[in-house]
A and B are shown apart, each in its own frame.
Chain A
Amino acid sequence: QLQLQESGPGLVKPSETLSLTCTVSGGSISSSSYYWGWIRQPPGKGLEWIGSIYYSGSTYYNPSLKSRVTISVDTSKNQFSLKLSSVTAADTAVYYCARFSGTLDYWGQGTLVTVSS
């Protein structure tokens, strides 16, 4: 059974860079059939796609976040990562990693990241 697990700091200071890693188990991140990516959900609000990456490294980013987002992949560790720079309180959210296969069919449990000094 495929599992995804987010990890990273739960508290980030304003203007700094948020960094999260998603570890994939029960399947290979190098499968040619899938993209991998990030979605976030501010407290009490809806879902927002951040971006996606293919195992080869090709990426798609949400246009509204593109200038601040970098998603990378490490196939040797079966992991992919998110970096979001210049964060503000508006970036406080639960961050989910997920597999994209024409739909988002597997999700991590999510990790809350709070932006506060």
Chain B
Amino acid sequence: QSVLTQPPSASGTPGQRVTISCSGSSSNIGSNTVNWYQQLPGTAPKLLIYSNNQRPSGVPDRFSGSKSGTSASLAISGLQSEDEADYYCAAWDDSLNGSWVFGGGTKLTVL
């Protein structure tokens, strides 16, 4: 059971816009920034979005992030076949002595 809640799956057709949600609590998303990772099959996760809505160099502007209260979202516009991957949200959690927490991951299928 992951601390952050994501839908297990999402899908879209090429060119569509899809969103993936991430729900947390006041001790994690509510008080810290959210990061998103893309994991292609058989590879390590790659940082996609940091500080809620910032893209590292090299990440296309088709990917965007937002946060409101204790929830966050990743949006992918102009969906492409190479976007088919697992997506994870992550945030620091202030409870106990502090820890990094992840969502359970969302498998994105491009139909």
Q: How many residues of B contact A (CB 8 A)?
A: 24
Whether A60 touches B105, Cβ cut-off 8 Å, given contacts A46-B88, A102-B33, A110-B44, is no
Question: B98 interface residue, CB < 8 Å from A?
Answer: yes
Q: In the complex, which residues of chain B have a beta carbon less than 8 angstroms from the beta carbon of A105?
A: 47, 50, 56
Question: A107 interface residue, CB < 8 Å from B?
Answer: yes
Instruction: Point out the residue from B46, B50, B96, B102 that lies within 8 Å of A102, measured CB to CB.
Output: B50
Instruction: Determine whether the beta carbon of A104 is less than 8 Å from that of B47.
Output: yes
Q: How many residues of A contact B (CB 8 A)?
A: 19
Question: A62 interface residue, CB < 8 Å from B?
Answer: yes
Instruction: Determine whether the beta carbon of A46 is less than 8 Å from that of B104.
Output: yes
CB distance from B109 to the nearest CB of A (A): 16
Would you list 10 pairs from A and B whose C-beta atoms are within 8 A, ordered by A residue? A46-B102, A47-B37, A60-B98, A60-B99, A62-B99, A63-B97, A96-B45, A103-B51, A103-B90, A105-B50
